[in-house]
Structure 1
Amino acid sequence: MSSSSESSTKAIFYALGANGGIALAKFAAALFTGSGAMLAEGIHSLADCTNQVFLLIGLKEAKKPADVSHPMGYARVVYFWAMMVALLLFFVGGAFSVMKGIEHLSHPEPISNPLVALGVLGVSVVLEAFSLRGAMIEIRKISHGKSFMQWFRETRQSELMVVAGEDIAALAGLALAFVAVLLTVITGNPLWDAFGTIAVGALLMIVAVLVIREVKAMVTGESAAPEVHAAIKAQIEAHPGVASVRNLISLQWGEQVMIAVQAVMQPQPSDVALVDTINQIEAQIQERWPQVRWCFFEPDHPPRGQNP
């Protein structure tokens, strides 16, 4: 298992464990209080667990070997499952919370057993913070010193990006919910709870839209990460058999990368020597970047009248 895949899998299991614990706490509170709202929240957290299961399914499917129908393998299937999770976050998480908040605005009701609700939210905050901490540890291992926002915009690991975005939205949402319930208890005004629910839903929808935008770019087809693309080009140009790189195309394919190179070559004594030089360049690239699964190399000569 590659380091990036291992980081994603760990982050997903952190999130699955946290959401599973949160769901159990909410279902227990619903059983104790008879609260329909808390039961709905338990179902919501169970849906979050389903999101993590989807991501694990995606990682497993991505490892299927190439076949006649999919000659470049199934690595990009992770983008499909990441998009599914982002859509569920938008509709099941965000839209559900907004609708529930609007319903409470129309028919405000006092919170039953507020101490139980605050206790469940407190436990949920701790578990979600644990999940987010685990995701951030894994991100720092592979982000090469980038800020979180820069990594979020440039990463090609859809599953880890989704987990981090979901954790941040959930933690911020739980904090908002805790404050809203606390204000409701202090003021006796149930509208605070309704406003808090709407704010949580809006936050989840905003994060979901940001995640969907990034995953859409991956589905459409993105180059390798900018630093990887630049480093590959620099290594090719530094080879003594290459005069210059005319064009380099890189394409992220799940965890794997495909590159196509058009390079002006230095004069070679024979066609065999030219092929040997190209093979050497490709071997050096794949030794340094094992994720480069395919390398298509087109040798070229300088325009007439120019030396390499």
Structure 2
Amino acid sequence: MNQNSKEVSKVDNGSHHIIQSLIVNVVIVISKGFAAFMTGSGAMLAETIHSSADCANQLLLLLGVKQAKRPADAQHPFGYGKSVYFWSFMVAMLLFSIGGMFSIYEGIHKYNNPEPVHEIAWGIGVLLFAIALEGYATYSNIVELNKRKGSCSFFGYLRTTKDSDLIVIFGENSAAVLGLVLAIIALLVSYYTGDSRYDAIGSLAIGVVLILVAVFLAVEVKSLLIGESADSIILETIESITLKDPLIIEVLNCRTIQQGPGEVLVCVKIKCSPDLTTQSISQLINNFEQEIRTVHPEVKWLYVEPDFQEWKNSL
């Protein structure tokens, strides 16, 4: 598979994981809602709201992926790739507000107004079922992340990757698994101690987990949304091409911006040999651009400026 096919595959896999998580969460919402009704558990209700928010989040991510595929036009000459980042940021905000804050509110309410939990078997059964589904979805995300990270460490990849949609899905799914474990613990402790305040504490803990994940996602996506540089390997490739070409003395300046998943803008200023003709410079730039795009087809926009100065000017 060539590099261009890999970039397309990454986008398609992103959509696949979003749809997979959406289907899983629809099933879980129904089962959790039924269990919350049967048990009267605040932690179960918090988990139901959490999964409902996840469904809305995944629909927003699908919208972002669809919008990102729109071709560039006069109003948006660099395309719509950053739509994915915008909707990913909105997902983080919804996870914080609807998921995290509501869970904390529900926990405080249940702690101040405790109600006994009952029919615990329904709750435990549904939670175990949900853990199996969410666990599978999370495992699938981890497998895909491991394919993409290359030699980078797993957590290092989470911090540096430009695939915001997959990171958001992984964050949601992993938070869901942890939240489900907390809900089971809270439900069991509350039932066997006869003190439903433990159930309320479980709801509070779930809220804290969701808020922490939401803050992490918001910070990571914000950097991409306002304009983050592309992977440093592109600059390394440019430097390598420069060293091989005797007509290029050095790279004076290089700026890259990630415009969306698999879409990069590159602006380069190169110092050329001073005895080149206009036609020679034109051919040099064409060859330079072709070499870069051969190695990195994700470079959708490439601007090369020749210079003969001894100092490094800013672009």
Q: TM-score, normalised by structure 1?
A: 0.92
2: CA distance between counterparts of 1:194 and 1:40?
Answer: 10
Is this contact kept in 2: 1:224–1:251, CA < 8 A?
A: yes
Q: Which sections of structure 1, spanning at least 5 residues, go unmatched?
A: none
Structure 1's 224 and 281: CA in aligned 2 closer, same or farther, altered over 3 A?
Answer: same
1:99 maps to what in 2? 105
Partner of residue 128 from structure 2, selected from 105, 119, 122: 122
Amino acid at match of 2:169: V
Is residue 303 of structure 1 aligned with residue 310 of structure 2?
Answer: yes
Is residue 294 of structure 1 aligned with residue 297 of structure 2?
Answer: no
The alignment of Structure 1 onto Structure 2 pairs a total of residues equal to 303
Partner of residue 64 from structure 1, selected from 57, 63, 70: 70
Structure 2 counterparts to residues 210-249 of structure 1, below 5 A: 210-249=216-255
Is residue 10 of structure 1 aligned with residue 22 of structure 2?
Answer: no
Partner of residue 187 from structure 1, selected from 193, 207, 212: 193
Structure 2 counterparts to residues 78-97 of structure 1, below 5 A: 78-97=84-103
Query: Match of 1:194, SS?
Result: helix
Task: For residue 262 of structure 1, report the CA deviation from its aligned partner.
Answer: 0.9
Partner of residue 276 from structure 1, selected from 258, 277, 283: 283
2: CA distance between counterparts of 1:47 and 1:282?
Answer: 45
2: CA distance between counterparts of 1:34 and 1:269?
Answer: 81
Structure 2 counterparts to residues 194-205 of structure 1, below 5 A: 194-205=200-211
Task: For residue 82 of structure 1, report the CA deviation from its aligned partner.
Answer: 0.4
Structure 2 counterparts to residues 134-213 of structure 1, below 5 A: 134-213=140-219
Is this contact kept in 2: 1:263–1:300, CA < 8 A?
A: yes
Is residue 261 of structure 1 aligned with residue 249 of structure 2?
Answer: no
1:74 maps to what in 2? 80
**Farther off after superposition, 20-29 or 133-142:** 20-29
**Farther off after superposition, 123-132 or 22-31:** 22-31
**Larger relative contact order (CA 8 Å, sep ≥ 6):** 2
2: CA distance between counterparts of 1:109 and 1:235?
Answer: 69
Amino acid at match of 1:274: I
2:3 maps to what in 1? none
User: What are the superposed Cα offsets for residues 134-191 of structure 1, whole Å, 9 maximum, x if unpaired?
Assistant: 1112112211132221111101111111111111111111111111111112222211
Is this contact kept in 2: 1:23–1:42, CA < 8 A?
A: yes
**Farther off after superposition, 282-291 or 144-153:** 144-153
1: CA distance between counterparts of 2:113 and 2:234?
Answer: 55
Task: For residue 267 of structure 1, report the CA deviation from its aligned partner.
Answer: 4.3
1: CA distance between counterparts of 2:111 and 2:139?
Answer: 35
Q: Which sections of structure 2, spanning at least 5 residues, go unmatched?
A: 1-6
Query: Match of 2:228, SS?
Result: coil
Is this contact kept in 2: 1:8–1:138, CA < 8 A?
A: no
Amino acid at match of 1:19: N
Amino acid at match of 2:129: V
User: What are the superposed Cα offsets for residues 260-280 of structure 1, whole Å, 9 maximum, x if unpaired?
Assistant: 001111345421111101111
**Farther off after superposition, 266-275 or 100-109:** 266-275
